[in-house]
Chain A
Amino acid sequence: MTLSGLVLAIFVALITDEIFSWVPSLFRWIIRRNSKTLPPELADRYQEEWYAHLNEIPGRLGKLLFAIDTVRAAHKLAHQCTLPRVSRLQFLGVRFFDVAMCVMLLVMQLPLLIAVAISLFIENGGHGPILCRLPYVGLYGRRFNALKFRTFRLKPTGVDIGSADPRVSLIGKYLRRFGIDELPQLINVIKGDMSLVGPQAQRPGYFDYLQTEIPNIGKRNFVRPGLTGFAQLYAPYEGPLDNPKEKLKYDLYFIEHFSVKLVLGILYRTVVLVSFGRR
């Protein structure tokens, strides 16, 4: 009985000794793993800095808590330090493509645009504006006025109740249904306010609110806002992912992989979606 007790005690002592001698390398392993999630230029620095910090913490429990907390630190640091790097070549390429494409589209749709303009002109007996200008947040947070066909009545009454908004005029209803009211934004694209593909343009007031809520939302302004975009396609309006935080993930992916090729791909997907519906 005492002999087996002794053997057990020695065994336990050996095991705990073994485990405790492992522990420091375990802590270092956790830290190494976490610092690896940082961008390469920072990974080495923080690995060494955190090793030094770990070295100065007295107890094992403190060391463990510190090592685990570097998960949080690395995650936040990675977000803080990565400003999106958009390739200038791709940026210019997309701009060139935008202008060429929009000039072509505008020429092709000129008859439609003229017809809509005339019908809006007639609807109000020759009064009131045909286009309206709405302020939006653009590239690097600059403000610009987006052009749209006016879809509201001249003296709007009532409040927005979804699909049957009483402020929308008769022609406006059809313009909205087919998205024709957005077509004048092609002029914004040619002017350089917008792009064909990019994050959705936000109203200034709402964007200011988002900036207080979501720390990294400003990063989406590193490219021009677009008529269509990655987030608009894959996290569509009123879908399960329709919230600014989810959409930002898509926008940031788009910005990180910003290229003419990706833009063409998203345009293609948009055309397929508009022509054949969601699949």
Chain B
Amino acid sequence: MPNRNLKEPRLTLQSMKVLGAFLGNLNREFSGADIHKLTRIPSGTLYPILMRFEQFGWLDSDWEDIDPSEANRPRRRYYRITPSGLEKANNALLPFRQGVPA
């Protein structure tokens, strides 16, 4: 849930990579492992970024809809980008898409 007490996340290179991954395929949901595969950001940095975005309402997350005992593996947590996150991501990555130095 978005939290109003927080400052807007700082857009570092790594957090932009995360946003870029979501922009790459808008209709897809990503697990933490998927994003790690796409961005190669180590988990120690990745999960804090994901949480910060989620706290700020840029991402939304939910459990995978499976029965862990039946599938014989733990449930994944899937992240997807929200409309406000999409807007922020588009603005933040605009300079890179146009090939103009920011």
Query: Given A72-B44, A76-B48, are A55 and B3 neighbors across the interface (CB < 8 Å)?
Result: no
Which chain A residue lies CB-closest to B7? A218
**A210 CB → nearest B CB, Å:** 13
Residues of A within 8 A of B55 (CB): 80-81
Does A51 contact B74, Cβ atoms closer than 8 Å?
Answer: yes
| Cross-interface CB contact of B5 among A48, A49, A77, A83, cutoff 8 Å | A83
Bound complex: CA A73 to CA B43 (Å): 6
- How many chain B residues touch the partner (CB < 8 A)? 24
Q: Which of B11-19, B21-29, B31-39, B90-98 is the interface stretch?
A: B31-39
Bound complex: CA A123 to CA B43 (Å): 65
| Cross-interface CB contact of B44 among A56, A57, A71, cutoff 8 Å | A71
Query: Given A56-B33, A73-B47, A218-B7, are A49 and B76 neighbors across the interface (CB < 8 Å)?
Result: yes
Q: Is A91 an interface residue (CB 8 A)?
A: no
Q: Is A133 an interface residue (CB 8 A)?
A: no
Residue of B5, B33, B46, B63 with most chain A CB atoms under a 10 A cut-off: B33
Residues of B within 8 A of A73 (CB): 43-48
Q: Is B80 an interface residue (CB 8 A)?
A: no
Query: Given A73-B47, A80-B55, are A53 and B36 neighbors across the interface (CB < 8 Å)?
Result: yes
| Per-residue contact bits, chain A 23-64, to B (CB 8 Å; 1 contact, 0 not) | 000000000000000000000011011111101110000000
Query: Given A52-B33, A72-B45, A73-B44, are A80 and B76 neighbors across the interface (CB < 8 Å)?
Result: no
- How many chain A residues touch the partner (CB < 8 A)? 24
Residue of A46, A49, A76 with most chain B CB atoms under a 10 A cut-off: A49
Q: Is B42 an interface residue (CB 8 A)?
A: yes
Query: Given A53-B43, A69-B42, A70-B43, are A77 and B48 neighbors across the interface (CB < 8 Å)?
Result: yes
Q: Is A144 an interface residue (CB 8 A)?
A: no
Bound complex: CA A72 to CA B36 (Å): 15
Q: Is A66 an interface residue (CB 8 A)?
A: yes
Residues of A within 8 A of B88 (CB): none
**B64 CB → nearest A CB, Å:** 8
Which chain B residue lies CB-closest to A81? B51
| Cross-interface CB contact of A52 among B42, B47, B74, cutoff 8 Å | B74
| Per-residue contact bits, chain B 61-89, to A (CB 8 Å; 1 contact, 0 not) | 00110000000011111000000000000
Does A55 contact B52, Cβ atoms closer than 8 Å?
Answer: no
| Cross-interface CB contact of A48 among B42, B43, B52, B77, cutoff 8 Å | B77
Does B74 contact A45, Cβ atoms closer than 8 Å?
Answer: no
| Per-residue contact bits, chain B 45-59, to A (CB 8 Å; 1 contact, 0 not) | 111100110010000
Query: Given A52-B74, A55-B74, A73-B43, are A80 and B32 neighbors across the interface (CB < 8 Å)?
Result: no
**A214 CB → nearest B CB, Å:** 13
Query: Given A52-B33, A81-B51, A83-B5, are A76 and B44 neighbors across the interface (CB < 8 Å)?
Result: yes
Does B51 contact A80, Cβ atoms closer than 8 Å?
Answer: yes
| Cross-interface CB contact of A69 among B5, B43, B73, cutoff 8 Å | B43
CB<8 Å pairs between A and B, sample of 11: A50-B32, A52-B32, A52-B74, A55-B73, A69-B44, A70-B43, A70-B44, A72-B44, A77-B48, A81-B51, A81-B55
Instruction: List 13 extra interface pairs beyond A48-B63, A76-B48, CB under 8 A.
Output: A45-B77, A46-B47, A49-B32, A50-B32, A52-B31, A52-B32, A52-B33, A69-B44, A70-B44, A72-B45, A73-B45, A80-B51, A83-B5
Binding site for A on B (CB under 8 A): 3, 5, 7, 31-33, 36, 42-48, 51-52, 55, 63-64, 73-77
